[in-house]
Structure 1
Amino acid sequence: MAMTFDPFAELDRLAGSVLSSRSNLRVMPVDLYRDADRYVLNADLPGIDPGSVDIDVDGQLLTIRAQRTAGGIEGAKWLTQERPAGSFLRQFSIGEGVDTSGISASYDNGVLSVVLPVSERAKPRKVEVQSVRHDSDVQPAIRS
C-alpha cells in the first residue's frame, strides 16, 4: 500500500473559518497541483493591482492577501455591479515538506501563481541496503 504525503491536508480549514466569521472577505478560487519537485498554486484574482498582493509565510502557514478597489465613476447610476471589490484572503497549511525559503510568485493576466518547491528531505529517495556479516558466517582460518 503506497502512502502519499499531502502537505495541504488542511487547505481550506483555516480559510473557511476566517471567511465564515468575516463576511467582507471575497472568494479567491484556487487550483493546486504537484508538478515533479514543486507544488503550483494558481489563484484567480482578475482586476487586482499586483502591488496590492501580499504573500507571507509564518511557520507552516502561507497567507495570500489582495485588494480590489471598486470602480468609482462619479455621477454614474449603477444598473448592476457584480464584480466584487474589497479584500481577498486565503490561508494554507503547507506542511513540513515544502522549502519555504524557495517559494516564488508571479501575477499574469489576472492569475496569481505561487510555486512551492518540495524540500530535499521530502523528495523520494532510494535507500541502500547493506549486507551485515555475522561472526557465525565467518569461516575460521585453518592454521597448521
Structure 2
Amino acid sequence: MFESLLHLDGGWFDPFRRLERELDELFGPWPPPVDIHSAAWGSFPALNLGSTPDRVEVYLFTPGVDPKSLSINLQQNVLTVAGERPASAEQNATCDHRERFAGRFYRAVTLPEDVDPDQVEAQCRDGIVRISIGRREAAKPRQIEVK
C-alpha cells in the first residue's frame, strides 16, 4: 500500500519500512485485488444487476445452495436475499485451508425506484437464480402526440 512512499536505502528508514509492512498486513495491498477469488467476506452470493426500459434483471450465483431454502424479499425498492450454504466436509478429513464460503448469508441491493413488486418472477438453473422484476407502467416514458 505504501511501498512507493519510501524507496531510499539506509538505517534511518528501517522503522518506516517496518511500519509500511505492518500497515500492508493490517489493511492489505493497495489497490485492492478485484477478481472473484478476492471478493470481500460476506459478499456471497455474487450478483449481477441489469435493466431494460421494461424490467430489472438480477442474477444471483448460488452454487451449492438449495434454491428452495433461499429467502428472497422485495420491499419498496430493496431486494434482500438470505440463506445458508452448507459446508462440504469429508469424513475423517482435516481442512487446512478453505476458500469456499460456507454458512449463513444475507445480501441487500437497492433497485431503481420504479420497480413493481407485483411483477416479480424467480427461476433457478444450475446454481444461478434469475430474478426478473417489471417496472411500473406509470413510470415508463410515453409518447405524447402533438395536435
2:86 to 69, 81, 84: 69
How many angstroms apart in 2 are the aligned matches of 1:42 and 1:84?
18
* 2:115 counterpart SS class: coil
Question: Relative contact order, CA 8 A, sep 6+: which one is greater?
Answer: 1
| RMSD value, Cα | 2.1
Unaligned runs of 5+ residues in structure 2 are 1-39
Alpha-carbon displacement from aligned partner over 1:40-87 (angstroms, at most 9, x marks no partner): 111111111112211012233211112101113332122432211012
Match of 1:55 in 2: 72
Match of 1:11 in 2: none
| Dislocated runs of 4+, deviation >6 Å | none
Tell me how far 1:30 sits from its aligned partner: 1.3
1:1-144 matched pairs, under 5 angstroms: 25-130=42-147
How many angstroms apart in 1 are the aligned matches of 2:116 and 2:77?
10
How many angstroms apart in 1 are the aligned matches of 2:41 and 2:100?
14
Determine what percentage of the aligned residue pairs are the same residue.
30
Tell me how far 1:26 sits from its aligned partner: 4.5
How many angstroms apart in 1 are the aligned matches of 2:122 and 2:79?
12
Tell me how far 1:24 sits from its aligned partner: 7.5
User: How many residues are matched?
Assistant: 108
Match of 1:142 in 2: none
Rg bigger for which structure? 1
- Alpha-carbon contact 2:44-2:101 (below 8 Å) kept: no
Alpha-carbon displacement from aligned partner over 1:101-128 (angstroms, at most 9, x marks no partner): 1111111111111101111012121123
- Alpha-carbon contact 2:120-2:132 (below 8 Å) kept: yes
How many angstroms apart in 1 are the aligned matches of 2:56 and 2:74?
15
When the two structures are superposed, what TM-score results if normalisation uses the length of structure 1?
0.65
